[in-house]
Amino acid sequence: MNRRLKTLLIKTRRQVFSEMIGNNPSLFHGEGYDFSELREYQIGDDIRKIDWTITAKLQKPYVKIFHEERELNVVVACMMGGSLFFGTDRIKQEVVTEISAILGYSAVKNGDLYTGVTVTEGSVESERPTKRIFAVNRFVERVDTMNLLGRRADYEEGLRQLFRRIKRRSLLFVVGDFLAPVDMALLSKRHEVIAVIVRDRFEEFPRPMGQVHLVDPETGATLQTHFGERSVKKYRARIVAGDKALYRHLHRHRIRFVKIYTDEEPFAKMVKLFGGRV
């Protein structure tokens, strides 16, 4: 493990285990609940919890009472491709690494099961579910050291494989740059899905650079071109259109999401996403 990664892990562990105490026990809490009992409706109860079948039989409104599951199954799926090998402040792969560590340490702190998954074209590799820090560190190191050049993040087949493989209802984080079209409709029916979008500001707001030599990190293809005002405008329009389609899809299927840029602090953005829970 190199010095940079060791420093990152120390910083992340301090953030998760030390900085947030008292009434903030975990970065996330479960959406899964176990049925406990039925009782007669009281003023102030959530009407969505009314059991209409029992209400009709007894001619009085009854509500279902649930208790929250103690143990969550937290799955972090990193969509690994050559496009992550880019960044002006630091490369996106490093940010994905840090996010994986934050979520892993948070799961361990909360006593939840953590499963790390890497998804590339033609390959979905999964760690065993764990509650141990050393296993989280091992997965984080794999994400950090993976050679991405020449690889493509296959969102279509990768998400399909995740649906087949993850049987138990989970809190599923899909982490990637989401520059390719995605369809998480099926996943969102079985799991609570959260999209973590990692971007570099330059790829969303590029500036004219004149004559440039471009290399596609996924295919290795090269291109000599003039990247001027007109090219920037066309490129920017494609990015905006792609993101609009992505946000529509996420909203339609009630998938929460957060966008983290390479010059931002991932921990702060994740805390904000979960309303201050760490």
pTM of the model: 0.81
For the beta carbon of residue 77, count every other beta carbon within 10 angstroms.
28
201 Cα distance to chain centroid? 19
Task: Establish how many alpha carbons lie within 13 A of residue 139's alpha carbon, considering only the half-sphere containing its beta carbon.
Answer: 30
- CA-CA distances (angstroms) from residue 266 to 197, 219, 234, 259, 277? 11, 29, 30, 9, 14
As a three-state string, the secondary structure of 181-213 is CCCCHHHHHHCEEEEEEEECHHHHCCCCCEEEE
Q: How far apart are the first and last CA of the chain?
A: 26
Per-residue pLDDT of the chain (278 residues; tens, 9 = 90+): 889 999 999 999 999 987 554 444 455 554 445 555 678 888 777 777 788 888 888 888 988 776 555 578 999 999 999 999 999 989 999 999 999 999 999 999 988 999 999 999 888 899 889 999 999 999 999 999 999 998 888 899 999 999 999 988 899 999 999 999 999 999 999 999 999 999 999 999 999 989 988 888 888 888 898 889 999 999 999 999 999 999 999 999 999 999 999 999 999 999 888 765 44
Name residue 93's amino acid.
Q
Give the DSSP letter string of 83-99: GGS--SSS-HHHHHHHH
Residues counted in the chain: 278
For the beta carbon of residue 60, count every other beta carbon within 10 angstroms.
10
- Residue among 23, 26, 104, 11 nearest 274 (CA): 26
Helix axes 3-14, 92-110, angle to 10 degrees: 40
**What stretch of H or E contains 65?**
strand 62-68
Q: For the chain, which domains are there?
A: 3-21+71-198+255-273 (3.40.50.410), 33-68 (no CATH)
Per the structure block, which two tokens stand in for 134? 């050393």
Per the structure block, which two tokens stand in for 114? 């953590």
Per the structure block, which two tokens stand in for 28? 């996330």
What is the rounded distance in angstroms from the CA atom of residue 93 to the CA atom of residue 45?
46
